[in-house]
Amino acid sequence: MWLLKRRNFWIIILCDVILLALSYASAFWIRYERLSPQVVNILLTTLPAVILIKVASFFFFDFYRGMWRYTSVNDLVNLIKGSLVGSLLLVGYLAMFRHFSGISRSVIVADCAFTIVAIGGVRLLVRLYYQRDPCFFDGFLFWKAGNRDSKKVLIAGTGLLAERLFREVTSQPTLKYHIIGFIDPLGLNSGMKIHGVPIVGSIREISPVLAQHNPEEIFIAAPELKAKQINELIDLCSGAGIRLKVIPSLTDRINGSVSDHLRDIKVEDLLEREPVKLDMELVAGELEGRRVLITGAGGSIGSELARQVLMFNPSDLILLDSAETPLYEIDMELGGTGSATRVIPCIGDIRTFKGLDRIFKKHKPEYIYHAAAYKHVPMMEHNPLDAINNNIIGTYKLASVAMRHKVQKFVMISTDKAVKPNSIMGATKRVAEMVVQALNGNGTRFVVVRFGNVLGSNGSVVPLFEKQIASGGPVTVTAQDVTRYFMTIPEAVMLVLQAGALGTGGELFILEMGAPVKILDLAKNMIRLAGLVPDRDIKIQFTGLRPGEKMHEELLVDGESIVDTAYNKIKICKNCNGVDEKDLFSSLEHFRLILKSSGDQQAAVEILKHLIPSFSGCTMTEERPDQEPVLTGPYAEVRFDERVM
């Protein structure tokens, strides 16, 4: 009965009573050319019953719960139901009280129609007033689409999303946009109108449209548009000073209005990739209620792992990083989510046995995602011993402590640069892959996930290009034909979680990266997205490949092949377990001695070459010392001295 307490409700009822009375009287007036006293008497006698029956029928169909300013098709359906049922009840009433013989049947039909038109029409007018819908008001009543301060906008799309965006934009004068037309992606509806606004052409016909209408912005509201078509649109708008905005995927706009989620086009929108579908049940079954540790949690991949793992409600989320500030930032971010998961930040280094052992004893992690690594290729060319110490020795120590503490699963994140490595970074990541594969089968299930570059990660090419464009250029590209595989950070992490949940131990998963992207094309697109013209507004400068860089990356080592999984973006690398464990762990001991004593960089590089025959070697080396470290003891005695590591 809360409805009866609303002040506006009684105003609505009064309005409907008046409309019902007018509809009923109009039905009599239409049917009878002259309202005789007898007809007027029948009208007045039956009018109270008509009003009561129809109002009761509207109540029954929840018609009075809808707000006038948001009148919808559902409200119209309820109105029709209420009117039809009310008319049938009215017939029964008239027959029961012997009034039916004095009323024409056409009066009942006309009354039903007039009721729907009158009551529905008033509600529609109220909605049009609040939404200022130009299909009714523009140039007719007291509202006019657009003003001097409004930006002229074209909407690319003619579907439901585009129509909804149009209604939201035109209903919010504060947005100050004037929609001047629609662009049909396929050109099938050119010349038609949506809410009185014309469909001015297709994307391929955009040049004359731009010249005629001079839009300041284009809103892309067509989910069916592929990355290639968006690229074409950017090319066609290049140099015209037109800003493009896009409505992201449904998952990005699940809450709030469409217009609230309009954003500038990002470079990831231009990647020709299908959306990732995550098997939530599989991943939740793996992580829910578990104690999960993430290494490198302050980095771009590690922090996104932390965000996504948190959504699966682990009991504890242990964040491990040696860098204090990034760790503090992700801890503060996750702490403000209101999750029941206990977030535990730990300052620590994967290169120290004692520090790791202390953390594992205290927090007892059950699952590990190992994202900590040195990743910058040119930097590691200058510092090969540090790359070996962190990427290889650190991974071995972390994996060893994990086995000692009976961790259930260990997921290592690797890189396509580990394939036929041409750099110290790639070689150390390949040896780290070999280490965790060799350790599998000792109680802990070890899984490796290998993928390419991620857009927007710390030190990646995208943030560099953004800074260079913001400063006026030039944008530096290593070579004209250089290509790389790219993924977005959230996409890569989703696939890591999926692959990790699939793994039973010993697998090396490869994430399907799509087609390789030319870095030159990426640079040009980013310049265009800034509303500038490549080589006119921003120069592109070729610098040549840096030490350790390749022209093209690969995802498979010689002798490896791919096996499909149930998920089309995740493959299993076959024939990747051929690791000579004796040789591998003997080489690890060599690394330990070099790091502990001589610091012989060239000797360390030679060991990498021995382990990975396809590795060509480091370009930044120093002279070998006279004394070369010597291993002592048989393979069975090879072990790390935990007291000094």
pLDDT in tens, 360-404: 999 999 999 999 999 888 889 989 999 999 999 999 999 999 999
Among 24-28, 152-156, 408-412, top mean pLDDT goes to 408-412
Nearest to 112 by CA among 17, 30, 24, 25: 24
* Between 102 and 207, residue with greater pLDDT: 207
Q: Which residue has the higher pLDDT, 555 or 408?
A: 408
For residues 482 and 349, membership in a common domain is answered with yes
- CATH number reported for the structural domain that contains residue 252 in this entry: 3.40.50.720
Q: With respect to residue 109, please indicate whether it lies within any of the assigned structural domains.
A: yes
Of 237, 265, 293, the residue at which a domain comes to its end is 265
Q: Could you tell me if residue 302 is inside a domain?
A: yes
Is the confidence at residue 624, as pLDDT, over 80? Answer: no
Domain identity same for 318 and 454:
yes
Tens of pLDDT, residues 495-544: 899 888 988 888 888 887 777 788 888 888 788 777 778 888 889 998 88
* Separation CA 488–CA 445 (nearest Å): 27
Q: Residue 577's pLDDT is what?
A: 54
Highest mean pLDDT among 82-96, 219-233, 614-628 belongs to 82-96
The pairing of strands 342-347 and 316-321 is parallel
Last residue of a domain, one of 265, 299, 327: 265
Helix/strand/coil for 510: strand
Q: Please give the residue range of the domain that contains residue 354.
A: 280-574
630 has pLDDT over 60: no
Domain assignment present for residue 599? The answer is: no
- Return the higher-pLDDT residue of 580 and 605: 605
Distance CA 372, CA 554 (A): 22
Q: What is the mean pLDDT of residues 470-478?
A: 87
How many CA atoms lie less than 13 Å away from 503 in the CB half-sphere?
33
Burial class (CB in 10 A: 0-12, 13-18, 19+), 524: buried
Whole-number pLDDT of residue 130: 67
Burial of 332 (0-12, 13-18, 19+ CB in 10 A): exposed
pLDDT average, residue stretch 40-45? 82
**320, 233: one domain:** no
Does the pLDDT at position 199 exceed 90? no
Report which of 218, 225, 226 is spatially closest to residue 262, judged by C-alpha positions. 218
pLDDT at 461 over 60: yes
Residues 245, 217 contacting (CB under 8 angstroms) = yes
**In this structure, are 475 and 341 located in the same domain?**
yes
The confidence score (pLDDT) of residue 264 equals 63
Residue 4 has pLDDT above 60, yes or no: no
Q: State the sign of the Cα–Cα–Cα–Cα dihedral 635, 595, 297, 457.
A: negative
Please report which confidence band the pLDDT of residue 628 belongs to, taking 50, 70 and 90 as the band edges: very low
Active site residues: 417
Has residue 623 got a pLDDT over 60? no
Residue 608 covered by a domain: no
In terms of pTM, does the model score above 0.75?
no
pLDDT at position 78 is: 82
Tell me whether residue 624 is in a domain: no
In-domain check, residue 620: no
Q: Residue 309: its pLDDT value, please?
A: 94
| 181 vs 487, more confident | 181
pLDDT higher than 80, residue 64: no
pLDDT for 356 equals: 95
**Residue 13 CB contacts under 8 Å (≥ 6 apart), including other chains:** 55, 64
Comparing 159 with 112, which gets the higher pLDDT?
112
Are residue 232 and residue 331 in the same domain, yes or no?
A: no
Q: Is residue 388 part of a domain?
A: yes
* Residues 175 and 212 reside in one and the same domain: yes
Listed range (92-106, 131-145, 360-374) with the worst mean pLDDT: 131-145
Is residue 585 over pLDDT 80? yes
Of all residues in the chain, the percent with pLDDT exceeding 90 is: 23
Q: Which residue has the tokens 């024409």?
A: 104
Of 120-134, 260-274, 318-332, the one with minimum mean pLDDT is 260-274
pLDDT of residue 168: 78
Question: What does 148-206 look like in DSSP terms, one character per residue?
Answer: TTSEEEEEE--SHHHHHHHHHHHT-GGG-EEEEEEEESSSSSTT-EETTEEEEEEGGGH
Do 34 and 113 lie in one domain? The reply is: yes
CA-based torsion, 510, 513, 516, 520: positive or negative: negative
Q: What's the structural domain count of the chain?
A: 3
What per-residue confidence (pLDDT) applies to 255? 39
Q: Which are the contacts of 303, defined by CB distance < 8 A and separation ≥ 6?
A: 297, 326, 329, 330, 333
**pLDDT for 273:** 61
Q: What's the pLDDT at 626? A: 44
Whether 299 and 398 map to the same domain: the answer is yes
What is the pLDDT averaged over residues 297-325? Answer: 93
Q: Are residues 235 and 342 in the same domain?
A: no
Asked if residue 457 and residue 562 are part of one domain, the reply reads yes
Say yes or no: 355 and 472 in one domain.
yes
pLDDT at 134: 47
403 burial type by CB count under 10 A (0-12 exposed, 13-18 middle, 19+ buried):
middle
Residue that is written with structure tokens 């932390």 in the block:
306
Mean pLDDT value across the chain: 79
Residue 10 confidence class, pLDDT cut points 50, 70, 90:
confident
Is residue 118 predicted with pLDDT exceeding 70?
yes
DSSP per residue, 242-303: -EEEE---GGGGSSS-TGGG-EE--GGGGS--PPP---HHHHHHHHTT-EEEEETTTSHHHH
Query: Quick one: which of 248, 286, 218 has its CA closest to 502?
Result: 286
Least confident of 276-280, 281-285, 535-539: 276-280
Evaluate if residue 306 carries a pLDDT over 90.
yes
Q: For position 125, what pLDDT does the model report? A: 83
Tell me the sheet residues that pair with 177.
151
Short-list 477, 553, 550, 540, CA closest to 510: 553
Clarify whether residues 217 and 325 are in a common domain: no
What pLDDT, on the 0 to 100 scale, is given for residue 643? 36
Residue 136's pLDDT is 45
Q: Is 126 helix (H, G, I), strand (E, B) or coil?
A: helix
Question: How far, rounded to the nearest angstrom, does the alpha carbon of residue 347 sit from its chain's CA centroid?
Answer: 30
Residue 478 or 344, more confident: 344
The band of 588, judged by pLDDT with boundaries at 50, 70 and 90, is: very high
Residue 590 falls within a domain, yes or no?
no
Percent of the chain with pLDDT over 70: 80
* Burial (CB count within 10 angstroms: exposed 0-12, middle 13-18, buried 19+), residue 537: middle
Distances in Å between the alpha carbon of 6 and those of 15, 122, 225, 353? 15, 20, 47, 69
